[in-house]
Amino acid sequence: MEKDQTAAAGKTPSDTSLSTQWKAVCGLLRAEIGEAAYQSWLKPMTVREVVDGELRISVPTRFMRDWIIAHYLDRLCELWADENAAVKSVDVYIQSEREMETAPSRKKTSSGDAGSSGNGGSKDYRVDISAPLDQRYTFEQFVVGKPNEFAYAAARRIAEASKVVFNPLFLYGGVGLGKTHLMQAIAWHIRERTPDRTVIYLSAEKFMYRFIRALREKNTVNFKEQFRSVDVLMIDDVQFISGKESTQEEFFHTFNSLVDQGRQIVLSADKSPSDLEGMEERLISRLNYGLVADIHATTYELRLGILHSKAEKISMEIPQKVLEFLAHKITANVRELEGGLNRVVAHAQLVGREISLEATQDVLHDLLRANDRRVTIEEIQKRVAVHFNIRVSDMHSARRARSVARPRQVAMYLAKQLTARSLPEIGRKFGGRDHTTVMHAVKKVDELREQDSSFAEDVELLRRMLEG
């Protein structure tokens, strides 16, 4: 059996029983998760005390804490509750943090410390630079589709490679399309497979903040050391670094020195390197030197896939119709899509009713309108012009030939249906026409839809394409 992992020295008898109980819990969990996971995660844990029904366990690093919370906390709670009825919850904290606050004598750090590479102390410090990772942001929970398959493959490659394959990996794409998710998935994966590699994930803002603080405290040597001794450095949202000269300078040096040492760098931004404003040329060319992978706007298929995957984890029946409706309507980004689904589920649970299409439309009223508004009149004009094979400029022109007048009316009609623009606003966008012209167009198109089913289909098709 293991060495006693509890801090037994000088403790009360209840701690001795805690220690016995911990052995029992450990034994059960060990059988469930296997020897390797046990050695990595459970063994370094130290059971401290029970306070007000909360069992406190300390671990040596932030990463361990995050991992244990993400993967074992629920099970630990259950097993503990079985073992000791007084335990209502379990808290896992980083040993050094609280020890510094309460300053008792230094406890030994466990020799089973996963990935300890000699100088344990400074390593923990480095790990602490990293922002905590979201336990949901793993590869397993990332739904792959056409718009993100390339970025996903690149991220996977980096995560699985034992040596640098391309440097840096630069991920870019619009808000809420999965950049942060992919980066953290890389971090989780590497930390899980090779815990001895130091992976640091942080936002560009944090990076800047730390750098500026180091400058102020005249401590830049230390700053450089911290970053230059990591194996994988990930900086999220580097668009925030652009325009900040001294930070860019530092970033550039850190970047070069890491690349020279064969360390992996992963960056993300909302634009491609060349489109980042206020970035220095040499930095751009360095960024372009690695692999640049973009995440495109979602497609209907991907959105539906993501909804299915999320719905599986929810213990409520969600009609397929509702999922399709959401995938169809919430097109802006995945974050909003998730938010929409969550709201629908929360509402249904609250009022104790089943999820229906009607309720969904009701609950998401504002969100749906906001998404509708995202279709611009310019997009409508472009789509309609392409569809009817006329020039976009004809949308604004004074030409009255039916071949251009009819498509123009359709575009006005769709602008009224799909955007929140007023009739005069729409008129202005169509070559400064009067609002009565727009009103007439709307009426005309409505009439024609009634009379001519193939025309009605055309309009319907255009509407669907424009709605995403």
Q: Evaluate the CA torsion angle 297, 300, 302, 306 in order and state its sign.
A: positive
**176 versus 319: smaller Cβ distance to ligand ADP:** 176
As measured in angstroms, the least distance from the Cβ of 181 to ligand ADP is: 3
For ligand ADP (CB under 6 A), the number of binding residues is 18
Pairing of strands 169-173, 199-203: unpaired
Binding mask 152-181 for Mg ion (x = CB under 5 A): ---------------------------xx-
SS3 of 136, please? coil
Nearer to ligand ADP, 207 or 413 (CB): 207
Site string for ligand ADP, 273-312 (x = CB under 6 A): ---------------------------------x------
Residue 217, judged by CB atoms within 10 A of its CB (0-12, 13-18, 19+), counts as exposed
Nearest position to Mg ion, beta carbon: 180
Q: Provide the 3-class DSSP secondary structure of residue 105.
A: coil
Of 91 and 338, which CB lies nearer to ligand ADP in the complex structure?
338
Q: Find the shortest distance in angstroms from Cβ 339 to Mg ion.
A: 15
CB of 298 to Mg ion, least distance (A): 15
Nearest to 466 by CA among 395, 339, 401, 378: 378
CB of 13 to ligand ADP, least distance (A): 47
What is the Cα–Cα distance from 463 to 188, expressed in whole angstroms? Answer: 42
Residue 386 neighbours by CB under 8 Å, 6+ apart: none
Of 136 and 328, nearer to ligand ADP (C-beta) is 136
Q: How far is the CB of 200 from ligand ADP (least distance, A)?
A: 17
Within 108-147, the residues that bind ligand ADP by CB under 6 A are 136-137, 141-143
The vertex-195 CA angle with 265 and 179, nearest 5°, equals 40
Residues shown for the chain: 468
| Residue 335 sits in the site that holds ligand ADP (CB under 6 A) | yes
Helices 320-329 and 300-312, axial angle in degrees (round to 10): 140
Q: How far is 4 from 353, CA to CA, in rounded Å?
A: 51
Q: Quick check: 4 binds ligand ADP (CB under 6 A)? A: no
Q: Looking at 7, 87, 177, 375, which residue binds ligand ADP (CB under 6 A)?
A: 177
Quick one: 155 or 306, whose CB is closer to ligand ADP? 306
- DSSP states along 439-464: HHHHHHHHHHHHH-HHHHHHHHHHHH
Q: Which of residues 156-175 bind ligand ADP (CB under 6 A)?
A: 173, 175
Residue 148 touching Mg ion (CB under 5 A):
no
The verdict on 58 binding Mg ion (CB under 5 A) reads no
Give φ, ψ of 292 to 5 degrees: -105, 120
Binding site for Mg ion (CB under 5 A): 179-180
Binding site for ligand ADP (CB under 6 A): 136-137, 141-143, 148, 173, 175-181, 306, 334-335, 338
